[in-house]
Amino acid sequence: MAEYVQPDLSLIGDEHVRRYRETDGEVGYLWNGATALVLTTTGRKTGQPRDSALIFGADGDRCVIVASMGGAPMHPQWYLNLVANPDVRVQVKGDQFTARARTAEGDEREQLWRLMTGIWPNYDQYQERTDRVIPVVVLERS
């Protein structure tokens, strides 16, 4: 397992989303050496759009994201939102599209986990920090 690397957190959260959107990913697509996208879910309680900048990997024409939240004991809010409503919007650089989200299971999850730890090795440490199985999510264009 790779050693944990502390990321540069100077661009995170709403600021990451804002800069990504206004530059079509020129700022924010590459984040600490990993590729990032902006995911828009529908709030499961509010019905309002919720944006998150997330590390992703490409698997063919699908995008893969990981609901790690740094190994916290609870799933991130964006993941709970897409479980409740799997129809999402995605922005990769200047490409904006609708997608359907689903959680990978079994062998597919294991394969995609390896893809994602190749992009962000810290995911292995995040998994060790928590008892929950960290979800791996596939975003397929709709």
Residues 6+ apart with CB under 8 A from 43: 49, 50, 81
The reported pTM is: 0.95
Q: Is residue 3 part of a domain?
A: no
**Mean predicted confidence (pLDDT) in 65-80:** 97
Q: Is residue 118 part of a domain?
A: yes
Which domain does 124 fall in, by range?
Answer: 13-141
**Structure confidence by residue, pLDDT tens digits, 15-38:** 999 999 999 999 999 999 999 999
Q: Is residue 4 part of a domain?
A: no
Q: Is residue 72 part of a domain?
A: yes
CATH of the domain at 81: 2.30.110.10
pLDDT at 3: 77
- How confident is residue 82, by pLDDT bands cut at 50, 70 and 90? very high
- Look over the chain and give the mean of its residue pLDDT values, rounded to a whole number: 96
How many domains does the chain contain in total? Answer: 1
Q: Is residue 6 part of a domain?
A: no
Q: Is residue 1 part of a domain?
A: no
Q: Is the pLDDT of residue 66 over 90?
A: yes
Extended beta strands in 68-135, E state:
87-92, 95-103
Q: Is residue 2 part of a domain?
A: no
* Cα distance between residue 87 and residue 31, in whole Å: 25
Q: Is residue 36 part of a domain?
A: yes
